[in-house]
Amino acid sequence: MIAQSQALESSLKDAIKSVLKLQKKSYEDLAEELEISVPTVKRILTKEEIGLSRLLHICDYLKVSLTELEKIANHNKNATKNTFTEKQEEFLAKNTNYLTFLLMMYSGQTLEEIQSKTKIDDKSMKLYLLRLEKLDLITYHKGKYTMPFEVFPNLIPYGKIHEANFNNIITSGADFFKRYNRQRILAKNLDRDKGSTMGLTMLTLSRESYLEWFEKIRKLYLEIQDTAVVEEKMPKLKNKKTVVIMSCHGVLETNDPEVDFLQNSFGVVKNIT
C-alpha cells in the first residue's frame, strides 16, 4: 500500500511538471506562489513528500482540479505503451467500421450519440461493443465502457491499418481541405494569421538537414498532442476548437518523375499558338 501511495505521488509530481511546462511557468514562479525557495520546490517535486495542502495549493495555482491532475498523470504513465497490439491492428485494418466506431468513442462521443449519428440498431451496437471488448480495445466496468488509453493509440508505422487505409485517409483529408479552403477563398478570408494554412512546398537539401528538421516537427507534434490531452480535461477552459492537422512528407531523388508532376500543379508550360 505504501509503495502504491508513493507511486501515485510520484506520478502526480510528474503531472505538475507537465502542466507547468504547458503553461510556461517556471520553478521560480511556483516558488513565489508557495512562498518557498526554488531548491525547496525542486525537492518537493522529486524526493520530498508534497503534502495534501500544498498539492491542493499547486492545483489552485495551475487552475486544474486534483481529479484533472490524476487524469494527466495517468496519460503520462500510459504514453510510452500507447500502441495497439499486432492482433488488434490486423482486426481493425480488416474491419474499418469497428475502427471508425472506436475513433468515435475516443473522441468523447457517448454510445447514444454514436447510435444516433450512425443509425445502427441495438443488436449491432451490442455486437460492436462485444467484439471490441473481446479484443481488449474497450473494458466494461460498473455499468460503463472505458478505453485502455487516454488518447487514440499510435498506429504501427506502415502497419496493417496504414496499409489498408492510406488511400482513404489521404483522400478524405484532401477533400476536407478542398472544401475548407474554398469556403475561406469565397469569403475572402484565409485566416492566415490565425493558424489556418495551405501550401505545397518542394525543397532541395541534404537528407541530414531534412531529418533534423523532421525530428523537430515530430517533437512539436507530440507536444501539441500532450497539450490537447491536458486542455481537453479542463471544463472551464474557454474557446475550445477542433483543430485538423494533415501531415504528409516525402523524400524523392532529384530526377524522380514525380518532381515534374508536382511542379506542374498550377499548370503545364506549353507552346503558345
pLDDT digits (tens, 9 = 90+) for 140-157: 888 889 888 766 776 665
Residue-level pLDDT at 65: 81
Q: pLDDT of 202-230, one tens digit each? A: 889 888 898 889 888 888 887 887 788 77
More confident site: 25 or 229:
25
Mean pLDDT (whole number) for 160-183:
82
What predicted TM-score, i.e. pTM, was given to this entire model? 0.53
pLDDT of residue 6 exceeding 80, the answer is: no
Residue 3 has pLDDT above 60, yes or no: no
Q: Is the pLDDT of residue 28 over 80?
A: yes
> How far is residue 88's CA from residue 68's CA, in Å, rounded to a whole number?
29
Provide the 10 A C-beta neighbour count for residue 89.
21
Residue 143 dihedral angles phi and psi, to the nearest 5°: 85, 5
**CATH class label, 2-81:** mainly alpha
| pLDDT, tens only, 50-90 | 888 889 899 889 888 887 788 777 666 555 456 788 888 88
155-162: long-range pairs with CB below 8 Å, 24+: 155/83, 155/84, 155/89, 156/83, 156/84, 156/86, 156/89, 159/86, 159/89, 159/93, 160/86, 160/89, 160/90, 160/92, 160/93, 160/94, 161/84, 161/89, 161/92, 161/93, 161/99
